[in-house]
Copies of this chain bind each other. A is one copy, B any other.
């Protein structure tokens, strides 16, 4: 089945906002095995929107429109879809009630133009919107299906996930099931080289590679007549990928982030953590604290951007700073060890580096970063050379710090297990 995406909105045409809806919808459609050849953005203009919808209907089976369902006169998506498909607009009682409720809960009164949002093309499927006042709409026409979604991502995403995906799946003869093998510590091209043979002969399941900052995700998708059979097809491929990338795989759950997997690892092994950051200035701790329930393991964090703070808070020696400089293996080690002693956490991660744009030298260029990790007194330090803007270097550093931390904790855990076995 061929799908086409139409984003409606002047804000996108003028570059006021980035079109994250299109990326989300495209990825979800791709997971379901729908093929997308075109994505178009067009403004709230009757002539151009009509033409865009007609063109899409001539070349795709399914058209997903987002935006233009608001209460103002400028919002035309629903009206034009109805006109193109020769449907009249009728009032939907449930939507009217929902709009009433929505305003009541917020202690506000709907204005007259809000009722426009309760009008829907005759015979359509209405998708209620718990996060806003514009219901979603599915129009099943002779040759095409049109799906109209509200523009705000916090309305569009849950509506698509909760209502549109089940609808589309119910229309498919085959079921598609995906799992994502998330890998750290191996570069994208190395991952690609290691699965080249699998890639070559892939039919069902298929593999798609996604590079994220510091991570590579392999999404494996199987197609079968029911979910059980699809899962059965997935299993050997997931097993094979886990074998090939062994400890570099941190999860196969699409919803689990790297920081979540690290917090889980710490919780499972009853380990606490603290951070001592210089150039990342709190962002490593900030990523860990993304995880709800991190309070079980996170003891405290320190941001020691200046040399004085490194000495005063963490006890880095003045002589070490003088001899090796703040961005050095030795200082990273003393930061990790000092933080470990001071915070009494089982694991302490430390970061010191030159994020730029200034401050680099021939010997210590911008992008040079040392990351330390102390687990129960044992310190590991690694050297990195990142490139790009200050923001890029800091982002890469945060990711590398999490990866190093994970490696050190895994090494400690396996050492303990080995020790016990002896």
* Chain A residues close to B by CB (< 8 Å): 12-20, 22-30, 36-43, 45, 48, 52, 154, 208, 210, 275, 277, 279-286, 288-290, 292-295, 298-306, 308-309, 312-313, 355-358, 388, 390-391, 394
Contacts of A301 in B (CB 8 A): 281-282, 301-303, 305
CA distance A356 to B290 in the complex (A): 10
CA distance A280 to B294 in the complex (A): 12
Contacts of A48 in B (CB 8 A): 37-38
**Chain B nearest CB: distance from A179 CB in Å?**
17
**Chain B nearest CB: distance from A37 CB in Å?**
6
Q: Decide if B30 touches A23 in the complex (CB within 8 Å).
A: no
Beyond the given A15-B26, A292-B358, A292-B390, please list 12 additional residue pairs across the A-B interface where CB-CB is below 8 A: A13-B37, A13-B39, A16-B208, A38-B41, A40-B41, A154-B388, A280-B286, A281-B301, A282-B301, A283-B286, A300-B303, A301-B305
What are 8 pairs between A and B in contact, CB < 8 Å? Answer: A15-B26, A18-B18, A19-B22, A282-B285, A282-B286, A298-B303, A299-B306, A300-B304
Chain B residue at minimum C-beta to C-beta distance from A289: B281
Contacts of A285 in B (CB 8 A): 281-282, 303
Q: Decide if B18 touches A23 in the complex (CB within 8 Å).
A: yes
> Assembly of this chain: how many copies?
2
- A contact face: mostly helix, strand, loop, or mixed: mixed
Q: Decide if A30 touches B14 in the complex (CB within 8 Å).
A: yes
Q: Decide if B289 touches A300 in the complex (CB within 8 Å).
A: no
CA distance A114 to B399 in the complex (A): 32
Task: Answer whether A26 and B12 are a contact pair too, CB < 8 Å, given A282-B289, A302-B302.
Answer: yes
**Chain B nearest CB: distance from A161 CB in Å?**
14
Q: Decide if B295 touches A306 in the complex (CB within 8 Å).
A: yes
Chain B residue at minimum C-beta to C-beta distance from A5: B41
**Chain B nearest CB: distance from A219 CB in Å?**
10
Task: Answer whether A15 and B19 are a contact pair too, CB < 8 Å, given A40-B38, A289-B282, A306-B298.
Answer: no
Q: Decide if B292 touches A298 in the complex (CB within 8 Å).
A: no
Chain B residue at minimum C-beta to C-beta distance from A357: B292
Q: Decide if A281 touches B292 in the complex (CB within 8 Å).
A: no
Contact of A13 among B16, B36, B208 (CB under 8 A): B36
Contacts of A27 in B (CB 8 A): 14-16
CA distance A208 to B290 in the complex (A): 34
Residue in A42, A284, A305, A312 with the greatest tally of chain B CB atoms within 10 Å: A305
Q: Decide if A299 touches B309 in the complex (CB within 8 Å).
A: yes
Contacts of A25 in B (CB 8 A): 15
**Chain B nearest CB: distance from A358 CB in Å?**
6
Chain B residue at minimum C-beta to C-beta distance from A285: B282
